[in-house]
Structure 1
Amino acid sequence: IGAGSYGIVRKVTRRSDGKKFALKTIRKAPWRQPPTSRTSVQYYHSKLRNELEVMRKIGSSLSIVYLYDSFEDGDAVHLLMDLCTGGELLGRMRAGINYSERDAAELVRSVVRTAAQCHSRGIIFRDIKPDNFLFDNEALDSPLKATDFGLAGLITPGEKLTRRCGTPSYMAPEVINRNYGEEADVWSCGVVAYQLLTGRLPFVDKVNQRPNAKEVFRAILEDQIDFVADPWPRLSPECVDLVRKMLDRDPETRITARAALLHPWLLAPTSEEALSGATQPIGGQVVARLQRFSTYGLLKRSVLRLLGDQLRKDDPNAGPGVEGFLELFQLLDTSGDDLVEPDELQAGLMRVGYDITQDECEQLLDSLDTTNDGCIDVDEFLAALVDWEALERSSEAYPSWVKEAFNMLDKDGNGTIDAGEVAELVFMNEDDGKLTSEAKKVIAACISEADTDGDGLIDLDEFITLLQMDPTDRLDAYELRLSKRGGSVDLSADETVLVD
């Protein structure tokens, strides 16, 4: 169903149940002939590793094409992913679909949301363009999902990168000048927005309709951006303002992805309802909270489940919204067995006003299910929905819960948590000596989540740091998935509206 310079994408069918997936096959060596140099092969392999690492780091975000699994043989790596049947954003743009300004705003919000999620996880995308966003299905209002993270990379706050990469027409000026940070992604979002609204790129060679990269770079660095020609006079001032702020040539003053999501032009009516409290449980933030939780590492998710258990047993009224969360769990658990299965999760969320597919619920459940039993228990549910940052600020009991959780894991009481003790948490008391090599890799990854000094152990200070929440990882960076139909159940407790 697709091919590029790095591999082939096929539609595949799982024999056991007929479910369709996309399988991306990436060769371990470049296609180019003659054989490439050792340096270029190493870069190619780093690109391959990047795509895997980034997709795993982003988790079960509904804004991203989901990675179910990966396989390797002698010649290639195979990525089993969501099958998106609605085609590329670029394809719909070329098909001449007339988007209203509000429709365009919803699409731009999806693109900017992807950038914001990446940045909150320390990831720079580096190839934001319409080709890399797929519609989940063929409906006009289909969700949009990002794909192809081969050029993405990890970045720390304030770090500057120098490798010029991406697609020339969408490159920021500072990328061309080889000195850039995550702000470059916002410029690319601005180019996509401009293209969606006008049907053309902001930098075009009026003489040469097929300019080379050098001419494109010159135009990006020097040419004035046209905000005068049609349709700009017909667009709202808010629309023009945001596109200008994203296409600011100075990365220091350019709007950030997180700030762009709060810009009036990108605040859809449904988003405003959710932010003001409205009718859906937790101010319409359930699906957003589940996605954010899915981006945490396995160790952090597992420890938060322990804290959820302590919170529920010690004082269910201690945390804001906890009573409402427990009520929602009971509503979802239609079988009454104190577990929520994927079909119950989807049916319940749709009943209270969310629009989410069965596949997406299974993806979210895969991250919520830290005990690996195929269901969500009440403690896993609380772990995902509680505003732990607010709880840390407001509850005097929170430090004691954290210390108690640490002591529960530190079985031998020596003041540190080792790999064997992590294995007991993650693999439910499985003997560390009987773990497979893959399971041991999982444990090593868990240790690395918290082990800041590299000694292979987790002390109390590292444990506390692990549980600290990033204040920049805001819920507005995740899809709300509120249904246009609304919900039939109102769990509008005062405590449940938490805007963070």
Structure 2
Amino acid sequence: MGSVCCRDDSRQQKGCLIISIVDELDTSPNPDAAKPPEQKVSLSQQGSKKSQVEEIQVQVENKQNEYVLESEPHNELEQKQPVTNKEEIPKNSEIVQSQKRTTEQNKGEVMKASLEADSKSKKMIKLGFDIFVKQKEGSIGSHYNFGKVLGQGAFGKVWKVTHKTTGLIRAIKQIKKSSIIKEEEQRLFSEMNILKNLDHPHIVKLFELYQDENNYYLVTEYLSGGELFDRIKKMSSFSESIAADYIRQILLATLYCHEQNIVHRDLKPENIIFISEDPQSQLKVIDFGTSRKFDNQKAMSKRLGTPYYIAPEVLGHSYTEKCDIWSCGVILYILLCGYPPFVGKTENQILERVKLGKFTFDPEDWDTVSKEAKEFITKLLRMDPTKRLSAKQALEDPWLIKYAPSTQINKKVLNNLRQFQAETILKQALMSYMITQMSTQKELQDLQEEFQRLDENNDGFLSKDELLKGYIQIQTDSKLAEDEVERILQMIDINRSGQIDFSEFCMAAMNQEKLLSVQRVEQAFKIFDQNGDGFISKKELEAIMGDLGDDVWNQILTDCDNNGDGQISYEEFVKMLKNKKL
């Protein structure tokens, strides 16, 4: 199956895609397709025989690596997931008055009450990162300069592009409307609705979707570090510490998806991309073309995936999200020895061995691997899904904990959170836009690590309790720390979910002078001032943020429009961003 991604790939026929397109599926036998050898061959082995992982690449390039064996009712296409409020925002009635409080405690309480009263005096609006990810009309060429072609297939091309205003590098998948059927058009929008709601350090970021008369254009972040698959080919095996680091990042993305009731269904090394070529680069999961929302009370039945990585229960038409865990087990097995656990000369042989679920740890290749690592793989590859580890349990396994990163919190980041100020609706929206649409991967890398240190349960969100544990490290008075966390939650939680998302954290944790640099503020104004007349109107703001309503727009004008002309000038724009409040 062709898929769209945002990788840097010189192979013209493979393509870097994030969208699954049914016309690229090839379920018929192909006598010319390369077949994996029956005997295990390590990646380090030289000679005329290719390694099994190299054979996988040949299969990919011949489009034999993905398949749909049976179709399922069209209810596979799911809609956008609603935001779940896990914690309600504290109310005024919850503020307990006491004459015996210290001056500092009273001060903190007054600030808290003031913020709550201020928020209640305004219409509440959810400003999540997803409001900026939408389908846009018009010429994409007016926004992006097209560079080299990263990949090409039957349905279009993948380009490396540069955003004209910000200079940021991105990837664009161009899809010809004439080449896709109606069902696949719906699938495209279904995938966009899933991906636009995923906000995680280890999941590819979707920016926007354009369309013109002839094409759709999917705009994603550009990942230049290459596939995990390619790194596997270059090494016979990885050290346990490196393998643990990689599989932990994949499991973090998997847990986040599963917590949102989303199953990926095609986790494999080709769909795991390094952000950059740096040896310490982080990973991101891509290609959500086969993903879907799932119901915990109903098993899925659609048989799709990639032979080496597909779970046995998927072949039996009845499975849950734990099919992703099986794929993770296969990936880890390959990382530690260089070949898959289930092999065969033909695709059918591979699938038959997957159904049996029997694998071994050949002493020749596994004697130097720890007992704990082999036990962990065994727990990921249990035939019975009910006995297989969940993503959460996997991340708590002793083998992974042994190689877990340091939990020492950076106090500078916590102090940045404390100092964050964004009282007006427009300032919250603009800072959210800057962090999600205008920041670089390098800027976010350190913040990503701090976010994951605070996120103790690995669910991809920061709860009140997790924040409190962090702040206890710099504020020993537990009551003052709790008041501080309450204030931070109200200020930073701009989508009103009751917890802090990754993008919200980055918005507040980044150095504000850096985030609101003169250059970035100028760029942001130019993006919102779409007709270039030096003012931002309601129509221009709605083109990026969606329908605001008169009440919200009037509140924005009250906060920002000093001269009362019904629009926002550059001077007013800068004052609103730079000052605490107008």
What TM-score, normalized by structure 2, do the two folds share? 0.48
Letter in 2 for 1:188: S
Tell me: CA distance 1:56–1:231, structure 2 relative to 1, closer, same or farther (3 Å). Answer: same
Contact preservation (8 Å) 1:332, 1:345: no
Local SS of the residue matching 1:10: strand
Query: What's the counterpart of residue 54 of structure 1?
Result: 194
Is 2:404 aligned against 1:262?
A: no
Counterpart of 2:146 in structure 1 is none
Partner of 2:126: none
From 228, 232, 239, give the equivalent of 2:362. 228
Name the CA distance, whole Å, in 2 between partners of 1:4 and 1:268.
43
Q: Does 1:44 align with 2:184?
A: yes
Partner of 2:303: 164
> Is residue 414 of structure 2 the alignment partner of residue 329 of structure 1?
no
- Please give the alpha-carbon distance, in whole angstroms, between the structure 2 residues aligned to 1:150 and 1:132: 11
Residue 497 (structure 1) aligns with: none
130, 137, 141: which one pairs with 2:280?
A: 141
Q: Distance in 2 between matches of 1:241 and 1:10?
A: 43
| 1:260-409 equivalence runs, <5 A | 260-267=394-401, 269-271=403-405, 273-274=406-407, 278-281=408-411, 325=414, 328-330=417-419, 357-358=442-443, 387=464
| Structure 1 letter corresponding to 2:262 | I
Report the Cα offset of residue 242 of structure 1: 1.0
1:2 corresponds to which letter in structure 2?
G
Residues 16/118 of structure 1: CA separation in 2 closer, same or farther (3 Å cut): same
Whole-Å separation in 1 of the counterparts to 2:167 and 2:241: 37
Displacement of 1:170 in angstroms is 1.0
Does the aligned pair in 2 maintain the 1:51–1:148 contact within 8 Å? no
Shift of 1:173: 0.6
In the TM superposition, what is the alpha-carbon distance from 1:104 to its structure 2 partner?
0.9
Seen in structure 2, the aligned counterparts of structure 1 residues 358 and 279 have a Cα distance that, compared at 3 Å, is closer
In structure 2, what is the Cα distance between the partners aligned to 1:52 and 1:262?
31
- Which deviates further from its counterpart, 85-94 or 21-30? 21-30
* Aligned-pair CA distance for 1:28: 3.7
Q: Which amino acid aligns with 2:358?
A: Q
In the alignment, does 2:224 pair up with 1:85? yes
Contact 2:326-2:380 at 8 Å conserved across structures: yes
CA distance 1:22–1:358, shift in 2 (3 Å): same
Instruction: State the distance in 2 between where 1:115 and 1:30 align.
Output: 32
Report deviation, 1:363: 11
How many residues are aligned here? 324
Is 1:118 matched with 2:257? yes
Which residue of structure 2 aligns with residue 300 of structure 1? none
Deviation at 1:156, TM superposition (A): 2.0
Instruction: Choose which of 334, 342, 356 in structure 2 pairs with 1:195.
Output: 334
Closer, same or farther: CA 266–25 of 1 in aligned 2, 3 Å: farther
SS in 2 for 1:106: helix
Residue 127 of structure 1, CA deviation:
0.7
Give the structure 2 partner of residue 25 of structure 1: 174
Write out aligned runs for 1:86-105 (5 A).
86-96=225-235, 98-105=237-244
Cα pair 1:30 1:44 within 8 Å, conserved:
no
* Stretches of structure 1 lacking an aligned partner (at least 5 in a row): 32-40, 287-324, 347-354, 365-383, 406-429, 444-500
Counterpart secondary structure, 1:45: helix
Mapped partners of 1:176, 1:108: distance in 2: 24
Taking a change above 3 Å as real, the CA distance of residues 123 and 357 of structure 1, as seen in their structure-2 partners, is: same
Aligned residue in 2 for 1:10: 159
2:246 equivalent in structure 1: 107
| Matched AA of 2:171 | A
Could you give the per-residue CA deviations for residues 410-444 of structure 1, whole angstroms, max 9, x where no partner exists? xxxxxxxxxxxxxxxxxxxx99999958866689x
Q: Which has the higher helix share?
A: 1
CA contact (8 A) 1:22 1:80 kept: yes
Paired letter, 1:258: K
Distance in 1 between the 2:331 and 2:226 partners?
16
The code of the aligned residue for 2:187 comes to K
- In the alignment, the residues of structure 1 paired with residue 355 and residue 313 of structure 2 have an alpha-carbon distance, to the nearest angstrom, of 9
The one-letter code of the counterpart of 2:390 is T
Which residue does 2:386 correspond to in 1? 252
TM-score w.r.t. length of structure 1: 0.56
Larger Rg: 2
Hey, what's the Cα distance between the residues in 1 that align with 2:154 and 2:361? 35
Other structure's SS at 1:170 match: coil
Q: Residue type of the partner of 2:189? A: R
Counterpart residue number, 2:112? none
Q: Which one-letter code corresponds to 1:76 in the other structure?
A: N
User: Structure 1's 433 and 12: CA in aligned 2 closer, same or farther, altered over 3 A?
Assistant: closer
Give the Cα–Cα distance (whole angstroms) in 2 for the partners of residues 146 and 227 of structure 1: 27
Letter in 2 for 1:93: I
Q: Is contact 1:55-1:66 (8 Å) kept?
A: yes
Q: Per the alignment, in what secondary structure is the counterpart of residue 226 of structure 2?
A: coil
- Counterpart CA distance in 2 for 1:23 and 1:129 is 22
Structure 1 position 268, deviation (Å): 5.1
With over 3 angstroms needed to count, the CA separation of the structure-2 counterparts of 1:17 and 1:259, relative to structure 1, is same
Q: CA deviation at 1:66?
A: 1.2
In the alignment, residue 27 of structure 1 is paired with which amino acid? K
Q: What is the identity, as a one-letter code, of the residue corresponding to 1:19?
A: L
Paired with 1:201 and 1:442, the residues of 2 have a C-alpha distance of 52
Residue identity opposite 2:443 in structure 1: Q
CA deviations 1:18-46 (Å, max 9, x no partner) are 32111122334546xxxxxxxxx344223
Distance 1:361 1:53, change over 3 A: farther
Instruction: Give the aligned residue type for 1:239.
Output: A
CA contact (8 A) 1:160 1:181 kept: yes
1:125 to partner: Cα distance: 0.2
Deviation at 1:241, TM superposition (A): 1.0
2:273/2:284 contact within 8 Å kept: yes
